[in-house]
């Protein structure tokens, strides 16, 4: 908890201006003992220049509806984008059930005490955040804004950086 508090204080200004730091998010995922990797057979390497954070819950129908597009981004662009799922469910078994039931093959973390939810200031879900290699937010969508649109945005962005 001390690590999370220090990180929150150190980066509060950045997050309030919508400039997130991907490495900070990843460091919280790794250092906060209340946030656990729920996908046992899937490792999180987090080595790609772009990061996509998908915050969801099993009970959220919009999350379920948008999850295939997030999975599609992972399947098609895993060499360019690290897709990281974070579930705010109450029980680990609910998260594990979603990973299987929604056929998610990217790393999914369980935010058991909602520390990441507070850190990212998540008010509505699903929340999809797309970050560049410097940790700047390129796109941030909440609720039912459409993961298909998000997929198109990622595709366009990756084409631009390949040129």
Task: List, for residues 9-33, the tens digit of each pLDDT value.
Answer: 333 323 333 344 555 666 666 655 5
User: How high does pLDDT run on average in the chain?
Assistant: 77
Could you give the angle at which helices 2-16 and 22-31 cross, rounded to 10 degrees?
A: 160
**Domain ranges for the chain:** 2-162
Q: What is the mean pLDDT of residues 78-90?
A: 91
With beta carbons less than 8 A apart as the criterion, state whether 143 and 62 touch: yes
Task: Kindly state the helix (H) or strand (E) to which residue 56 belongs, with its residue range.
Answer: strand 50-56
* Mean pLDDT (whole number) for 118-126: 89
Q: What is the mean pLDDT of residues 73-99?
A: 91
Q: What CATH number belongs to 2-162?
A: 3.40.30.10
Q: What is the pLDDT of residue 160?
A: 85
Mean of pLDDT values over 79-107: 92
Furthest CA-CA distance within the chain: 44
């Amino acid at each position: 908890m001390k690590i999370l508090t220090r990180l929150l204080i150190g980066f509060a200004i950045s997050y309030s201006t919508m400039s997130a730091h991907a490495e900070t998010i990843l460091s919280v995922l790794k250092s906060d003992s209340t946030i656990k990797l729920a996908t046992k057979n899937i490792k999180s390497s987090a080595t790609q220049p772009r990061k996509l954070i998908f915050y969801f819950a099993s009970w959220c129908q919009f999350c379920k509806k948008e999850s295939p597009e997030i999975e599609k981004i992972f399947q098609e662009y895993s060499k360019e984008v690290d897709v990281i799922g974070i579930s705010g469910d109450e029980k680990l078994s609910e998260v594990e059930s979603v990973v299987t039931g929604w056929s998610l093959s990217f790393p999914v973390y369980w935010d058991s005490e909602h520390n990441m939810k507070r850190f990212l200031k998540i008010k509505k879900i699903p929340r999809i955040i797309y970050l560049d290699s410097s940790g700047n937010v390129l796109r941030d969508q909440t609720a039912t804004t459409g993961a298909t649109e998000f997929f198109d945005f990622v595709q366009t962005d990756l084409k631009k950086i390949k040129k």
